[in-house]
Structure 1
Amino acid sequence: MKQNFTVRHGALDGVEAFLRVAQHRSFRKAAAELGVTPSAISQIVRHLEERIGAPLFIRTTRSVGLTEAGEQFLARAKPAFEELVAATQAAREYGQRPAGRLRLSVPRAVVPILLEPLIASFCRTCPEVEVEIAASETLVDIAAEGFDAGIRMGQFIDADMVVVPMTKPFRYVVVGSPDYLAGNDRIAHPDDLRQHACLRLRRSSGALATWSFNDAGRAIEIAVSGPFIAHDIPTMLGAAIEGVGLAQVPEPVAASPLKSGRLVQVLAKFATMSPGVFLYYPDQRHVTPKLRAFIDHVKSSSS
């Protein structure tokens, strides 16, 4: 396939040699500075002149001067080459130390309970890294969307991703407010949920999530019904606290309202397990220093 590059292949060859000769007005001094022979420098410059189609230097046995074409080329090539060198150095530094913007795709539910303390300590540890959090329930293609990594529950991560555990496995629990539970029928088995107001979660795919249970080793899936549908777990949890109905949520998310008594757990013996929350990123041979620093921070914080 024909390639149409903006800059022709090899077009930059010889530019540094030209700039050194122009600076010193000497092929010999330029050669010594670059660590090559004067004849090598002369040949490199000659090839550059051939590609450009104009002589750049006026050569005599005693001196070296610039032609009008050489003056024009120097005026534009020198600042452009210096900018290219600076860009190369900046990129090299980013490749050697934790710096730059670290973009993470995360679900809203993990931000207050997991990410806020972790990000605060990471920012103190790596002040040159700028952390950007995109909180959404949508399962995005992190590589296509320009994210360095994502954070999700293990069951929602593609198998080709590298994963780092951020939490231990935890239970999915069914919770309701004391007022709701006091005014409704007793709940002894998942089948009893059919007579209750259950708060539902719409996944990013558009499907309504079913509720999962473990009945003595037998997996149960129930399509519940109720008056309220949320698009994220914190919203659904808030509705449960307000007494709208029952909600099935990750236990760490409900830990604080359970402890304070704003929520009560039911069907505890039927709770199913989640593998936990993981940091994940594409399988790359070269992980950037900023991501490597964050991975190491996650590992040290969860150990």
Structure 2
Amino acid sequence: MTAPNFAEANAFVAVLEQKSFTRAAKQLGLSPPRVSALVRNLEERLGVRLVERTTRSVSPTIAGEHLLQRLRPVLDDYRTALESTNEFRDKPAGLLRLTVAPPAADSVLEPVLPSFLERYPEISLDISVDSGLVDIVAQRFDAGIRPGERLERDMIAVRISDEIPIVVVASPRYLSERGEPRTLQELAEHNCFSVRLPNGATYPWRFHVKGRPVEVHVDARLTANATKMLVRAAVEGMGLFQLPRQVVARELDAGQLVTLLDEWAPPPVDRFFLYYPSRRQMRPALRVLIDFLRERRR
């Protein structure tokens, strides 16, 4: 039996992780027929069927699942070994894949990404914003960013933010036309915005009254899963929005938005941590990202 080559093993893993020959081909920069041929060659070399193919789905056989679990760490180590040569370059390089909770994407990453990419022009970022818990090893992410209480114990975690205040904001224009709500009950008389979660629910508006947490239902005039859209609508005077203060820091500093109902502000959002597997060697590109986020926090 001729030993399988790297391209065949890499294509096999990509197909099962993406659950699609087409998506795997896009990830690898190959044509779907070429990826299919690589996987078929691997099966022929090993003499066993690895992938079940139908018109609607792709899934591993028992042998394929066993091989997948063994190959993933091997391919990760291979990639890390090659990219370790970046330490001898003038600047770190390579692709970093990150999974990030939506609040962290808006309040921690978004404000600093332009500066990071400018400082490290040879590093590319592939960021997946997801509110669910993601297995970064199985999904082959280099790292994730989540609140501290949502991290697995076998991860190395690095704190990259302080606690983030939650505020209600509106534009001076809106307040001049509609007036300022003075109590939580008066929110029912105003246009409010809500953020849509991936599961279809919306973030509740939270407050703190007499030492106790309170959730207030708002009849949302505008609901979206795009925070930037809602911030823009607030700046344009369309309504009120509750969100982490850091997301609208520039708009507050510029006077485009002001905060409301501060006396009932809820507890701050928990600190965010960047985390990565303890058994995986840290890549140079990830190391400089961590150092950069620590620097910005200070």
Please tell me the TM-score bracket, short chain as reference: 0.5 to 0.7
Matches within 5 A, 1:236-247: 236-247=230-241
Query: For 1:62-103, what per-residue CA distance to the aligned partner results, in whole angstroms no more than 9, with x for missing partners?
Result: xxxxxxxxxxxxxxxxxxxxxxxxxx9986453463553212
**Range with bigger deviation, 91-100 or 250-259:** 91-100
- Match of 1:234, SS state, is helix
* Identity within the alignment, %: 31
Distance in 2 (CA, whole Å) between partners of 1:115 and 1:250 is 18
Query: How far is the alpha carbon of 1:175 from its aligned partner?
Result: 0.5
Residue 109 (1) aligns with residue 106 (2): yes
- Which of 112, 118, 121 is matched with 1:120 structurally? 118
Query: How far is the alpha carbon of 1:249 from its aligned partner?
Result: 1.2
Distance in 2 (CA, whole Å) between partners of 1:282 and 1:215 is 40
Match of residue 70 from structure 1: none
Residue 265 (1) aligns with residue 254 (2): no
Given residue 239 of structure 1, which amino acid in structure 2 is its aligned partner?
A
Contact 2:80 2:281 in 1 (8 A): no
Match of residue 187 from structure 2: 193
- Which of 90, 94, 105 is matched with 2:83 structurally? 94
Query: How far is the alpha carbon of 1:266 from its aligned partner?
Result: 0.4
Q: Any stretches of 5+ residues in structure 1 without a counterpart?
A: 9-87
Query: How far is the alpha carbon of 1:131 from its aligned partner?
Result: 2.2
Given residue 239 of structure 2, which amino acid in structure 1 is its aligned partner?
G
Query: How far is the alpha carbon of 1:137 from its aligned partner?
Result: 4.8
Distance in 2 (CA, whole Å) between partners of 1:165 and 1:90 is 26
Residue 219 (1) aligns with residue 217 (2): no
Name which one, 1 or 2, has greater alpha-carbon Rg. 1
Contact 2:95 2:126 in 1 (8 A): no
- Match of 2:243, SS state, is strand
Match of residue 277 from structure 2: 282
Contact 2:148 2:272 in 1 (8 A): no
Match of residue 127 from structure 2: 134
Distance in 2 (CA, whole Å) between partners of 1:276 and 1:214 is 19
Residue 181 (1) aligns with residue 180 (2): no
Given residue 292 of structure 2, which amino acid in structure 1 is its aligned partner?
H
Query: How far is the alpha carbon of 1:275 from its aligned partner?
Result: 2.0
Query: How far is the alpha carbon of 1:116 from its aligned partner?
Result: 2.2
Match of residue 52 from structure 2: none
Given residue 120 of structure 1, which amino acid in structure 2 is its aligned partner?
E
Contact 2:148 2:273 in 1 (8 A): no
RMSD: 3.0
- Match of 1:206, SS state, is coil
Query: How far is the alpha carbon of 1:167 from its aligned partner?
Result: 2.2
Match of residue 297 from structure 2: 302
Matches within 5 A, 1:247-258: 247-258=241-252
Query: For 1:246-265, what per-residue CA distance to the aligned partner results, in whole angstroms no more than 9, with x for missing partners?
Result: 00011111111122222121
- Match of 1:286, SS state, is coil
CA shift in 2, pair 1:215/1:104, >3 Å: same
Contact 1:137 1:232 in 2 (8 A): no
Query: How far is the alpha carbon of 1:196 from its aligned partner?
Result: 1.8
CA shift in 2, pair 1:239/1:189, >3 Å: same
Match of residue 291 from structure 1: 286
CA shift in 2, pair 1:213/1:172, >3 Å: same
CA shift in 2, pair 1:267/1:295, >3 Å: same
Match of residue 158 from structure 1: 151
Query: How far is the alpha carbon of 1:166 from its aligned partner?
Result: 2.1
Distance in 1 (CA, whole Å) between partners of 2:79 and 2:180 is 65
Given residue 112 of structure 2, which amino acid in structure 1 is its aligned partner?
L
Query: How far is the alpha carbon of 1:211 from its aligned partner?
Result: 0.9
CA shift in 2, pair 1:252/1:101, >3 Å: same
Given residue 109 of structure 1, which amino acid in structure 2 is its aligned partner?
D
Q: Any stretches of 5+ residues in structure 2 without a counterpart?
A: 5-76
- Match of 1:113, SS state, is coil
Distance in 1 (CA, whole Å) between partners of 2:181 and 2:80 is 60
